[in-house]
Amino acid sequence: MAYRRAVIPALVGSLLVTLLLWWAGESAQALELRGATSVFDARSVSELRLWLAPWSYDPPSALLADGSTDTATGGVAAFGGSSHYAALYTTAMQIRFVAVFAFFLAGALILIRRIPPTQGRTPATVLGLWAWTPMAGMLAVTVSAPWLIASYGHGSFRMLPRLASVIVSSGPVTVLAGLVTALVAVLVARVTAKGDEPSPRQSVPPRAARLAASTGTAVIALSLVVLSYQSVAAWIQTSFDGAGLLSEPGELLRAWLLLGSWTSPASTPVGDWLLYRAADALVLVVVWWALRLLPGLLTRTTAPAMALGGVCATVLALWAGRAVRIAFDSAFVVRAPVSLITQLDAGAPAALAFGIAAGLTALVTLRLAGSRDVGKAPASTADSGEPVADTTRTEE
């Protein structure tokens, strides 16, 4: 799809997700009303506050009075001139909403242009935009984190742990907002795509596609299976040290490196351990399948498209694994609906880092393996008359 056609649904989606998150943040005030606990139980109200707090313009109570407790990042905020810190908080939120608009727009442009909702690609476009929304929210929270931390009056204290706690706090509200945004953006994209020349699906050599998916999945497995093991995660947490503002980087490294967490069967019943490992296996299967289909869905296998596709595949796979874990959980029948999706945004920073690495690894493998297979393709496709796409051709 041409940029002039893709930019309209991308702008609509960016504006919609920004408005939805702003509305969600403003709705946090309703949870303070006396009747809130009659609609939701106390636990659900508490979890909803955590969902909406990252997008609320109202400064926390810690900024409204001197010497208040900093409930968002820990510690005591003993400082004067609270109005100045409240202004810093407002600045952080302004940056956050502008950033979520910009990050979603950038990703949506690539997705809609490279996976236009035509020729059987509509479900892939919806899933891609849906999966990208939490990433845009996480990046927006990350960009605005320095101003938010400074607004509590002690930005130089435990800077990296505080940064890690802010980065992982975008909340599952972005998942819900992303579903609505993806559906609306795709509907608009289908309207703007009318009259455009059809973009046929590429024919990718099967061997090259499978090999590319396998190498990309191996990158995800490095985080999910190797780095997420308890002893390795503990080593990451404690082995790196620093000084000053760069002290205690362990929590930040864990946020960007670990897609999960698991221990040996000795710490849990073997049956439960196997069920949870089955959820991890499902994550890898979903990643492999998505990366296997991705080159054929793209109108052209460019590096940005493959990197973004790798991120979306990782996010969707984590959601699938989370759904299985919830089903295995013995407390499933007594949980409130709000509790069931509280952890859907878990692992977002690592999903971004390793998703990009997986997509680029798959692209390199696809080029290397595809360049060998393309030379043999005419003999196998001569009868069908279907040309094999040159997977080595890119457009940066």
Q: Beta-carbon neighbour count of residue 145 at 10 Å?
A: 22
Looking at residue 151, its pLDDT comes to: 83
Q: Which range among 172-176, 303-307, 327-331 shows the weakest confidence by mean pLDDT?
A: 327-331
The mean per-residue pLDDT over the stretch 325-346 comes to 65
Share in percent of the chain as helix, strand, coil (round to 5): 70, 0, 30
145 vs 42, more confident = 145
Whose tokens are 């905020």? That residue is 77
Q: What backbone phi and psi angles, to 5 degrees, belong to 82?
A: -65, -25
Share of the chain above pLDDT 90, in %: 43
Please answer whether residues 136 and 103 qualify as being in contact, where contact means their C-beta atoms are separated by less than 8 angstroms: yes
Please answer whether residues 89 and 207 qualify as being in contact, where contact means their C-beta atoms are separated by less than 8 angstroms: no
State the amino acid at position 284 in one-letter form: L
Looking at residue 381, its pLDDT comes to: 37
Looking at residue 390, its pLDDT comes to: 43
Q: How far apart are CA 372 and CA 354, in angstroms?
A: 27
154 vs 313, more confident = 313
18 vs 250, more confident = 18
Whose tokens are 């796979």? That residue is 317
Q: Which range among 169-183, 322-336, 382-396 shows the weakest confidence by mean pLDDT?
A: 382-396
27 vs 368, more confident = 368
> Would you say the pTM of this structure is higher than 0.75?
yes
Please answer whether residues 352 and 139 qualify as being in contact, where contact means their C-beta atoms are separated by less than 8 angstroms: yes
Q: Copy the structure tokens of residue 146.
A: 């320095």
The mean per-residue pLDDT over the stretch 77-85 comes to 56
Q: How far apart are CA 259 and CA 219, in angstroms?
A: 11
Whole-number mean pLDDT of the chain? 81
Number of H helices, E strands in the chain: 15, 2
Confidence of residue 183 (pLDDT cuts 50, 70, 90): very high
Q: Any long-range contacts for 68-76 (C-beta under 8 Å, 24+ apart)? A: 70/152, 70/154, 72/152, 73/149, 73/152, 73/162, 73/165, 73/166, 74/162, 74/165, 75/152, 75/154, 75/157, 75/158
